[in-house]
């Protein structure tokens, strides 16, 4: 009994599909791992009120509300690590993550309470040395 042979068009179709599918399968198998994400630097921002809380104008109080909304946005964007306020002098500390000092300065300057001169701001590079949680 003679072996069956495939018709010529089926052979060509098989070859064409092989040339189209095999390179994609090979490249999928050789897929390189994603490029590592550059580590973020941490910065401490110290905010000191220009006036005592009781002496703030209505416009300044509005800026403080905008400041809090801005911090929530930074938190949602993964840039704010923590924020806290001293209850005796209303100064604040923000710990942020940024690619570099330039980005950290931009984050600080974009705060509505800083740009509105409600708070004076200082920026300092920061490194966690001890923590109850992993940084």
Residue 72: its pLDDT value, please? 98
Confidence (pLDDT) at 6: 53
What pTM was computed for the model? 0.69
Q: In which residue are the tokens 């005592």 written?
A: 52
First-last CA distance in the chain? 75
CB under 8 Å to 1, separation ≥6 — which residues? none
**88: helix, strand or coil:** coil
In this prediction, residue 65 carries a pLDDT of: 95
What domains appear along the chain, each with residue ranges and CATH number?
A: 51-126 (3.30.70.1060)
Residues of the chain with pLDDT below 70 are 1-30, 35-38, 53-54, 134-135
pLDDT at position 9 is 56
Q: What is the pLDDT of residue 51?
A: 81
Q: How many residues does the chain have?
A: 135
């Amino acid at each position: 009994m003679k072996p069956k042979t495939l018709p010529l068009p089926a052979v060509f179709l098989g070859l064409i599909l092989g040339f189209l599918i095999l390179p994609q399968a090979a490249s999928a198998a050789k897929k390189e791992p994603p490029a590592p994400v550059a580590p973020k630097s941490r910065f401490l921002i110290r905010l000191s009120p220009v006036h005592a809380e009781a002496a703030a104008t209505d416009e300044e109080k509005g800026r403080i509300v905008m400041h809090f909304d801005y911090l929530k946005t930074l938190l949602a964007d993964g840039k704010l690590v923590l924020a806290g306020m001293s209850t005796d002098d209303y100064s604040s500390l923000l710990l942020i993550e940024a690619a570099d000092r330039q980005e950290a300065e931009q984050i600080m300057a974009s705060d509505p309470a800083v740009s509105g001169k409600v708070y004076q701001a200082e920026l300092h590079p920061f490194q966690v040395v001890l923590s109850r949680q992993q940084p």
